[in-house]
Structure 1
Amino acid sequence: MNKTLTAALLLGAGLLAGCSMTGPGNLKVHEVLLYGGTQERIVWVYGNLGSSAQTSVKLGGSTVDLRAQVQDPLAVAGTLSANGKAVYRLPTAPLSAKLSVTRDTRGLFTVAMNDAGGSVYYTDGRTWTRLNAPTGSGVGGTPVSGLRGAGNLTNAEADALGSALLNQGALAVAVLNEASVPDGPLTTEPTPGEYRRTALYVLPGVPTVGATTGAVTPGTPAPPANPGGRVTFTELASGSNANVGTSAVQVATTQAALSTLYNLAYGRQTGMPSVPSLPGNDTVVGVFLGQRATGGYSVQVTGASTQGGVLTLTVALGAPGPGSITTQALTSPWTLVQVPGTYREVRVVDTQGRPFQTGVGSGQVR
């Protein structure tokens, strides 16, 4: 009796040891490796659970529990949840800088990429543009949906990833040569029927600078003294790495004061564009959001009006949303706008009409 039981147990153990992980039906694995401002490996697992409520696979040597997909911005039709999340995530190895991008006030770009890769994409935090060339100056762009056409991403993956990277201010994404990145293909057990791999470099804090001459591009003049009237404003520059720790509003009506604003805005960057000339009857306002612990925060002037000698700027404040992929670095978003005329007072409000809070840092946008 004991010998029979022992033999049965040994046979069962041998059968189990010889079995490999079966995984879901029609298994496909697609991954994107993010470098630069975001060091993360994001893996979509496609498959059919069949009659079972769950199954598992091994990704990178770790067993991952697969179940029905969950509600999440990164969830893509046909995929399964991995350990209760829409995607499986792993860190990527550090990679030296591969991309340099600046945007000018005309909407043209100066791009340099230290890699034999592919397309470069840009977002102002709201929409995406694919640049018409991976390198050069005066480069234009074409509006696109998310990151469509990037590497081996499907359209659904490109849209989901593009949406997750929005609301972080101005950033650029370059398609890298997969052979040049330090992380090898993801080991998967069982072997998937389809495996796709894309490598991207994320560059946060793309600044907007003056046109190539450094001169201000003026807007259509508007009379500043029109009571309750709208005022035309021009965005001179913007970015996400100011040398400012707390939220602040700074006003410049002289050339010296404008130089001070530029030094604050570009104080943490290796290079600063030339300071444009300020006409004697114009005002430049700098709105600084203050230091934040991650990317995903932004500030943009959306309107200007004047009444009784008081200039009121309306700003849209951005913060990272649920499921967004934030750049893991300290940021300090800012914007500089030029307005015709001078004013006895400058006020800044958000899109709900609430006063912009100054003196706030290292916290949430309020």
Structure 2
Amino acid sequence: MTTTVKSRLSLAVVALGTALLAGCTATGPSNLRVHEVALSGGANQRIAWVYGTLSGPSSSLKLNGNTLEVRPQVQDDLSTPGSLSVNGKATYQVSTASSAQKLSVTQDAAGRFNLTAMNSASLLAVYYTDGTNWWKLNGISGTVSATPSTGLRGAGQLTDDEGDALARALDGQGSLAVAVLNENPTPLSVEPKPTEHRMTSLYVLPGIRTTTGGTTGTVTMNPGSSNTGNSRPSAPAAGFTEVARGANARVDDPTVRIATTTAELGEIYRLAYGNQSSPPTPTPLNNETAVAVFIGQRTTGGYGVRVERVVASGGTLNVTVAIQAPQAGMITTQALTSPWVLVKVPGVFTQVNVVDMAGQPLP
């Protein structure tokens, strides 16, 4: 083979390699925008929403060095209007290393919060959820009150839709504080370069303790029933009142407890609030029966339990509960939890049967 032929072959190989590399370049959607949130504390991960306009059914881009396919959005808790799916999911997510604790929060019976920044953390705002509702705290240090909030709207550079989506993903995991940090972590690398790249840094603190007495809760009724008045043990329960629920009981295994006296209710409170420094004082029972359902210890957040239906039969209460478990891709706090719910019904009952929505007995 002559030198001229060898040179031509070498040039052909180089040209082929260049073409292959060009074919691997991530072109991305037009008007590419990336919005990131860096979570630390109870959840350690990066989440990125990708926005842009597709010229066809799909496109590609590189995030954090990984080539990913983007398509029209799928539906899950983190999807937002106008965003694109990334490899078939609503967002791009990657786990990150744990960090030092940056916040201490306790709540008193009057609903006030005591905040302390830790390890030189600089806070911009703090939000709180009881697992269902959200508040924004009226301060970032000391003893402060709180104002009802629509999820995490207004947190850092999150859009309202992203704040709503992130709040949905954190719902049902018990009491949490979410601090907006005055930090600028290095953003994920993106190719091609986006026209906009937002970054929000949040610290998630699970298991907020109540330091003094008092209970909070919502009232849940059986359809078409009333929670007033007394009922005879032989009649169906007229309804039920949810007294409280939580995710940090001192109970390892699934357990059901029944109370017809205030002393017995106090024992339930000691189990439900046993990991708090000072359990609330129960309201005395007055010709009522309290039922507590504990689903046992779980290794992450995202679990919960609620009562759906109560029916009386003689001296027995038949209780149906719905048990919540983390969905695939759900943001879960990395902390031991032990969810529970406490309800009371009019009348005095001596037995209780608890089943899940499939009719399986608990425990």
Smaller-chain TM-score range?
0.7 to 0.9
CA distance in 1, matches of 2:104, 2:347: 36
CA deviation after TM superposition for structure 1 residue 330, in Å: 3.3
Question: Of the candidates 67, 71, 77, which is equivalent to residue 68 of structure 1?
Answer: 71
Q: Secondary structure of the equivalent of 2:361? A: coil
1:250 deviates by 1.0
- Secondary structure at the aligned position of 1:148 is classed as coil
Which residue number in structure 1 is paired with residue 341 of structure 2?
335
User: Which amino acid counterpart does residue 271 of structure 2 have in structure 1?
Assistant: L
> Corresponding residue for 1:228?
236
| Counterpart in the other structure of 1:203 | 205
| 1:251 matched to 2:258 | yes
* Alignment partners' CA distance in 2, 1:104 and 1:346: 33
Report the TM-score when normalising by structure 2: 0.76
Q: CA deviation at 1:111?
A: 4.4
Q: Look up the SS of the partner of 2:296 in the other structure.
A: coil
Query: What letter matches 2:194 in structure 1?
Result: P
Alignment: residue pair count: 345
Offset at residue 42 of structure 1 (A): 0.6
Q: 1:335 to 1:136 in 2, by over 3 A?
A: farther
Distance in 2, Cα, partners of 1:13 & 1:309: 81
- Change in 2 beyond 3 A, CA 1:23/1:246: same
Structure 2 counterpart of 1:91: 95
| Alpha-carbon shift at residue 198 of structure 1 (Å) | 0.7
Paired residue type of 2:241: F
d(CA) in 2 for partners of 1:16 and 1:76?
Answer: 35
- Does 1:288 find its partner at 2:290? no
Cα gap change, 1:132 to 1:320, in 2 (>3 Å) = same
Residue 35 of structure 1 and its aligned partner are, at CA, apart by 1.6
Q: What residue number does 2:189 align with?
A: 187
How far is the alpha carbon of 1:248 from its aligned partner?
1.4
Instruction: Note closer, same or farther for the CA distance 1:125–1:78 as it changes in structure 2 (3 Å cut).
Output: same
Query: Using the alignment, how far apart are the partners of 2:35 and 2:49 within structure 1?
Result: 5
* Letter aligned with residue 200 of structure 2: T
**1:305–1:311 Cα contact (<8 Å) kept:** yes
1:32 Cα shift?
Answer: 0.6
Q: Does 1:120 align with 2:126?
A: yes
Between 1:318-327 and 1:304-313, the stretch displaced more is 304-313
Residue 135 of structure 1, CA deviation: 5.2
1:30–1:169: structure 2 CA closer, same or farther, 3 Å change rule?
A: same
For 1:46, the aligned partner's letter is Y
2:142, 2:289 → 1: CA distance?
A: 33
Which amino acid in 2 is paired with 1:186?
L
Per-residue deviation, 1:290:
1.6
The answer as to whether partners of 2:61 and 2:191 remain within 8 angstroms in 1 is no
Counterpart CA distance in 2 for 1:332 and 1:152 is 33
Q: Percent identity?
A: 44
Q: Which amino acid aligns with 1:291?
A: Q
- Alignment of structure 1 residues 135-174 onto 2, 5 Å: 139-144=145-150, 146-174=151-179
In 1, the alpha carbon distance for the partners of 2:157 and 2:133 equals 21
1:56 equivalenced with 2:61 (yes/no): yes
Distance 1:306 1:136 in 2: 48
| 2:224 alignment counterpart | none
1:232/1:16 CA distance change after superposition, 3 Å: closer
* Corresponding residue SS for 1:118: strand
State the secondary structure of the residue aligned to 2:349: coil
Matched residue type, 1:40: Q
Matches of 2:214 and 2:229, distance apart in 1 = 20
Quote how far apart the aligned CAs of 1:292 are.
Answer: 2.7
Residue 349 of structure 1: CA displacement?
5.0
Structure-2 change in CA distance of 1:301 and 1:7 (3 Å): closer
Please tell me whether the aligned partners of residues 69 and 86 of structure 1 are also in contact (alpha carbons under 8 angstroms).
Answer: no
What SS does the aligned partner of 1:335 have? strand
Quick one: which amino acid aligns to residue 204 of structure 1? Answer: P
Aligned partner letter, 2:251: V
Three-state SS of the structure 1 residue aligned to 2:10 is helix
Residue 47 of structure 1 corresponds to 52
Aligned partner of 1:300 in structure 2 is: 306
Specify the code of the residue in structure 2 equivalent to 1:233: T
Could you report, residue by residue, the CA deviation over 1:321-346 in whole angstroms, capped at 9, with x for unpaired residues? 34422223332201234556533223
Normalized against structure 1, the TM-score is what? 0.75
Following superposition, the deviation at residue 15 of structure 1 comes to: 9.5
